[in-house]
Amino acid sequence: MAVIGVMGSGSRPWNRLARPLGAWIAEAGHHLLTGGGQGVMASVGKAFHEHPGRRGCAIGVLPTLADPEHGFRPLEGYPNAHVDIRIVTPLPRRAASDPPGLRTRNHVNVLSSDVVVALPGAHGTRDEVRLCLAFHKPVIGFGPRAQFADMPGELLVVQRLERVVAFIEDRLKA
């Protein structure tokens, strides 16, 4: 089963994009990987999780805080209710002020996915897209083109789920 990473806003759910995408990933028999938070991550996870007959797991790579007793613990609000497998790492969450090249949990998100679908998001999503391009990981943007204006120019951006599906299927055959 392939692992499809879905990255995007941690605050805005983009239901019109995320819910059909999550349902398709479940229907196709793939695993879903997100950052395990709110916004796009919860929206795609809910659709994936609720799909009847799904075989895959919803994986969440969680941002953490150091905890003297338990090593690390997920940040408040993580994971969302639609995560089956929680991945806790000591790697920090990507901050807008972080220098380029800093290793964060975004590396785990990207490197653990077979294909990445980027929905509209902010600095964390932009970092994940850049990592995909740097590590030659298949990535496609899904949503209104204007929402990707600050993303790398090489990112293919589409507005229809059928184009996302064709991209994923093509990359998984390679």
- Mean per-residue pLDDT, 98-120: 92
Q: Identify whether the C-beta of residue 41 lies closer than 8 Å to the C-beta of residue 16.
A: no
Q: How does the average pLDDT of the chain come out, rounded?
A: 95
The dihedral sign for the CA sequence 156, 145, 20, 22: positive
Chain CA centroid to CA 157, Å? 16
% of the chain surpassing 70 pLDDT: 100
Looking at the DSSP bridge assignments, the partners of residue 88 are 62
Residues 142-151 pLDDT 10s:
999 999 999 9
Bridging pattern class, strands 115-118 and 139-142: parallel
73-90 pLDDT, tens per residue?
A: 999 999 999 999 999 998
Burial (CB < 10 A; 0-12, 13-18, 19+), residue 9, is buried
What's the predicted TM-score (pTM) here? 0.96
Residue 167 Cα to chain centre, angstroms: 16
